[in-house]
Amino acid sequence: MLHLSSISDIRQQTELLRRQGKRIGFVPTMGALHEGHLTLVRAARHQNDITVCSVFVNPAQFNNPEDYRLYPRILEKDAQMLAQEGCDILFSPAAEEMYRQTPRLHFDFGELEQVMEGAHRPGHFNGVATVVSKLFHLVKPHQAFFGQKDLQQFAVIQQLVLDLSFDLELVCYPIIREEDGLAMSSRNRRLAPEQRAVAPRLYQALQLLREKLETLPVPAAKQEAEAFLQRFPQIKLEYLEVVHAQTLQPLQEVGQGAPVALCLAAFLGEVRLIDNLLL
Ligand code: AMP
């Protein structure tokens, strides 16, 4: 596996590969890789000639400096896992390399970013769109792979690709979970044992919400799921929403044929986790 960290090197490589007529599959990540990431790498490999994975903890998308500082960084282990999966190129630039100058461009995704993650993490999607645009230019992929875990991020990136006419296909893969239902996340590494023990309650709350929505109106079903989570004092719920799965706008009722997503974010101590369930 080729391990590159400079912009000029990755540009040169992907230009060469494009000229050779190779299909490039790309998996952007922030590292501390787990089975969720590796599923995307396998899919990319399966559908392309060359697999590129980036590991970059993007400072521009963190609204909380402590979250950025404490984000798990285990590049050597990531590189080993990627090599084992048959990844061809790992791109892991330093922050100074990606941001030689502070970007002046600002993205505005309108109502797509006025809810959930966008509402609770000011500037987050601007940082995501900036780095993803840069990475797409550098890697020049035919396909880029993302997880449903970050549902709103995927919607934002779909909009980005449409608005800027990026010539690539976006692929979204389902959430990979631990055996007890907890959505895999690099941030799970930061959970203390007692927090880890209670963390599967988040997914249980989404499942309960799904069940309650079969018989109750949206507000009452949400109340039941919120009351369930309130039984666990380690969990501080930030939001629990019933939304349209594409526009991500809150739904007052379900069952009208619209695709529905149940989404939540919660803190366990300082660690913020997100999860979702598509109906
Ligand atoms: P991250 O490193 O957290 O920025 O994630 C990189 C990519 O992996 C994103 O497209 C995520 O949505 C995806 N991803 C993260 N966790 C999971 C998971 N548990 N299952 C599937 N995809 C995931």
Q: Taking a C-beta distance cutoff of 8 angstroms, is the pair 136, 144 a contact?
A: yes
Per the listing, tokens 């799921």 go with 225
Which CATH superfamily, name and number, covers 2-173? HUPs (3.40.50.620)
Tell me which of 258 and 184 has the higher pLDDT: 184
Catalytic residues, by residue number, are 37
Angle between helices 7-19 and 124-139 (to 10 degrees): 50
* Atom 17 of ligand 1, nearest CA residue: 36
Which residues contact ligand 1 via a Cβ below 6 A? 29-30, 36-37, 40, 146-147, 149-150, 173, 175-176, 183-186
Q: Which two tokens stand for residue 116?
A: 């959930």
For CATH 3.40.50.620, list the domain ranges present in the chain: 2-173
Q: Kindly report the pTM of this predicted structure.
A: 0.96
For CATH 3.30.1300.10, list the domain ranges present in the chain: 186-278
Q: 191: CA distance to ligand 1 center in Å?
A: 17
What pLDDT is recorded for position 103?
93
* DSSP state, residue 175: P
What pLDDT is recorded for position 225?
98
**Residues in contact with 159: Cβ distance below 8 Å, sequence separation at least 6, in sequence order:** 109, 112
Per the listing, tokens 């020049």 go with 140
**Residues in contact with 270: Cβ distance below 8 Å, sequence separation at least 6, in sequence order:** 66, 67, 70, 190
Query: How far is 128 from 134, CA to CA, in rounded Å?
Result: 10
* Atom 22 of ligand 1, nearest CA residue: 147
Strands 24-29 and 50-55: parallel
What pLDDT is recorded for position 257?
86
pLDDT in tens, 222-250: 999 999 999 999 999 999 999 999 999 99
Query: How far is 133 from 164, CA to CA, in rounded Å?
Result: 9
Statement: residue 255 has pLDDT above 90: no
| Fold entry, domain 186-278 | Pantoate--beta-alanine Ligase; Chain: A,domain 2 (3.30.1300)
Q: 260: CA distance to ligand 1 center in Å?
A: 20
Q: 56: CA distance to ligand 1 center in Å?
A: 13
What pLDDT is recorded for position 201?
98
- Ligand 1 atom with the smallest distance to the CA of 176 is 20
